[in-house]
Structure 1
Amino acid sequence: MSTVSEIIEKLKTLTLLEASELVSQIEETFGVDASAPVGGGVVMAAMPAGGAEAAPKEEEKTLFDVVLEEIPADKKVGIYKVVRNIANIAVNQVKEFTGTLPKALKESISKEEAEAAKQQLEEAGAKVKIV
């Protein structure tokens, strides 16, 4: 099996969060922007005979995930309290929940709710991102 095929097979096993992290690390490592168009040519779709219609607009993202990336050792207690309140989990579950980071703390929530959670976590000292 070729190296490329092996990499493709490994990529198929990634979660969406892991794939997002991979893209971020590739962008940082190689100084590229994955959202930038690639290639020299522009491909135009054939226009209907009735005239030019506007291309469909990209839908604006309405649901977001709050991802807890890092908890500094000296701020664990305060962050655990915030995590417990946001995730609505028991005290004894917080340490287990935060055992492997990065991890999505809240998923598919509104932008306002995500921003509020992020602010609370950052004020407690955690490193957080919204995806």
Structure 2
Amino acid sequence: MIEKLAEQLVNLTVKQVNELAIFLKKEYGIEPSNSNTRGLEPLVDSSKKESSSSKEEKNIFNLILKSSGNSKLSVVKLVKEITGKGLKESKELVDNLPNVLIKESVDKKEAENLKNKFEEIGAEVELK
């Protein structure tokens, strides 16, 4: 039985080895170490680095209004100020909630500032 298991492990593809490592970590809390996996850890770590670096690289966001909260008029005014649209157009945007794109391709700092402004008046905003 041990010989068959060893043969199966030796014949795993790189993808299967990564899946096994993830499964063992998730189900049993077992993480690969350099001493007993001979090359398994770099494969797992590279996938972690890719996902974390893709999160770090995101510097441009779209500002999406999810809810106007209790102060709809204040939200309409802020939408008007941010978008440069007229009062009627801004009101129509706020009336078409949820998931209304307020501003796209905004840098991280500006997106956070705008999100904070909306949240201060009770609106719910998402950055994507």
Give the TM-score band, short-chain normalised: 0.5 to 0.7
Question: Runs of 5+ in structure 2 lacking a partner?
Answer: 1-14, 20-45
Aligned residue in 1 for 2:125: 128
Structure 1 ranges of 4+ moved more than 3 A: 55-59
- For residue 91 of structure 2, what is the amino acid of its counterpart? K
Aligned residue in 1 for 2:58: 61
Q: Is 1:112–2:104 an aligned residue pair?
A: no
2:113 alignment partner, SS class: helix
Contact preservation (8 Å) 1:82, 1:124: no
Note the aligned Cα RMSD (angstroms).
2.3
1:105 alignment partner, SS class: strand
Aligned-pair distance for 1:40? Answer: 5.9
Between the aligned partners of 1:110 and 1:99, the Cα distance in structure 2 is 26
Between the aligned partners of 1:115 and 1:76, the Cα distance in structure 2 is 21
Aligned residue in 2 for 1:35: none
- For residue 95 of structure 1, what is the amino acid of its counterpart? K
- For residue 74 of structure 2, what is the amino acid of its counterpart? G
> What does 1:14-93 correspond to in 2, within 5 Å?
41-42=17-18, 58-59=53-54, 60-72=57-69, 74-93=70-89
1:42 alignment partner, SS class: helix
- For residue 92 of structure 1, what is the amino acid of its counterpart? K
- For residue 42 of structure 1, what is the amino acid of its counterpart? N
* Deviation digits for residues 14-41 of structure 1 (CA, Å, limit 9, x no counterpart): xxxxxxxxxxxxxxxxxxxxxxxxx863
Question: Runs of 5+ in structure 1 lacking a partner?
Answer: 1-38, 44-54
- For residue 84 of structure 2, what is the amino acid of its counterpart? N
Aligned-pair distance for 1:124? Answer: 1.4
TM-score, normalised to structure 2, is 0.55
* Deviation digits for residues 43-102 of structure 1 (CA, Å, limit 9, x no counterpart): 8xxxxxxxxxxx695451111111100012x31111111111111111111121122221
TM-score, normalised to structure 1, is 0.54
1:106 alignment partner, SS class: strand
- For residue 89 of structure 1, what is the amino acid of its counterpart? K
